[in-house]
Amino acid sequence: MLTDFNEEYDNPEIDDDILKMLNECFDKPLSPEEIERRKKQRAIELQEKGFLPENDELDETMTSPQEEVELAPKRFIIEECIPACKELWAKNIYTFMVSDHLNEGQIWVEVVFDALSDENKEIYNNLTGDDVIKFSYHKGCVNFGVNCVGELGQQKLLELAKQFKMQDVPKNLAWITEEEFLMGYCGCYDEYDNPNYIEMLPPGEVSMSDDQIYEYIKKYDEWQYSTDSQKKLRKFSSDKVTKSTFEYSKEHGMIFDQGKIYLGQFHFQKHQEFLKHLQKYREDGESQRN
């Protein structure tokens, strides 16, 4: 939408009154008729690309909490990816991102690789098929999907998701250690100078050739994610702990259980479902042996 007609269309023959009227038109809220017209046009475009119809709830965002996405998948995820995502969520596999309608001809799901159990990492590595695609889009994440959309794509993506196994909820996304919690949320730490600190200038502030800048950007990215980029480091200080971990966790709306801090009831409940699954698996094994 144009916000300033003068910037987009500089015509000396148009007087100020007309310019004012045009700007008011662009700033004016869309009428119900215009909204409906655009919906129909959108539906035609998606149909031509082979996608399933877009539901009225869809309001995609870049990042949203796992709990929020699971409660309202139609708001965040295109129809093709919803069944596969629900299959993964039921197995405590948290999704990082999914494809959208800009990914023409393919659909995919993205997960944090280290958030997968060893068994599920192996399953990911062994995913194969004529239409199967696997790649890495974000650092530490992996994507799997298929080279088709619509009902066929939806079904094939779901079949891939069904190959994964139930796992416990992932560290960092669902829980952290007691010490990490006390340091990160409760200020129970001391700071000290990092003896290995290295200073690096942002790529935009250095002068070098194209070949050199490419290598520099790679090194800079690695540096950003390492402790070498931190002037100060932290270490746990028990002297600064003034309450029990249970009290601290309750204040932050978290749950302390078996030495772990679950980041909310949502994550803890999913952990409980995993324990039930584990118990049933053991009982079924005992029954077969008997």
What's phi and psi for 237, nearest 5 deg?
Answer: -125, 105
User: What is the predicted pLDDT for the residue at 7?
Assistant: 39
Between 25-34, 79-88, 218-227, the lowest mean confidence (pLDDT) is in 25-34
Residue (of 230, 260, 232) closest to 246 by Cα position: 260
- DSSP lists the bridge partners of residue 132 as 146
Rounded CA gap, 115 and 169, in Å? 8
CB atoms near residue 228 (< 10 Å): 14
From 3.40.50, 3.90.1150, 3.30.1050, 1.10.575, which CATH number describes the 66-162 domain?
3.90.1150
**Percentage of residues in the chain with pLDDT exceeding 90?**
69
Note whether 267 and 256 are within 8 A (CB). no
Q: Residue 141: in which H helix or E strand, if any? A: strand 141-146
Q: Which carries the bigger pLDDT value, residue 23 or residue 29?
A: 29
User: What is the predicted pLDDT for the residue at 10?
Assistant: 43
| Range(s) of the chain covered by CATH 3.90.1150 | 66-162
What's phi and psi for 261, nearest 5 deg?
Answer: -110, 110
Handedness of CA 131, 134, 138, 142 (dihedral sign): positive
User: What is the predicted pLDDT for the residue at 25?
Assistant: 54
Contacts of 277 (CB under 8 A, 6+ apart): 166
Between 18-27, 79-88, 160-169, the lowest mean confidence (pLDDT) is in 18-27
User: What is the predicted pLDDT for the residue at 244?
Assistant: 97
What would the mean pLDDT of 276-288 be, rounded to a whole number?
82
Flag whether pLDDT at 44 surpasses 70.
Answer: yes
Please state the pTM of the whole predicted model: 0.80
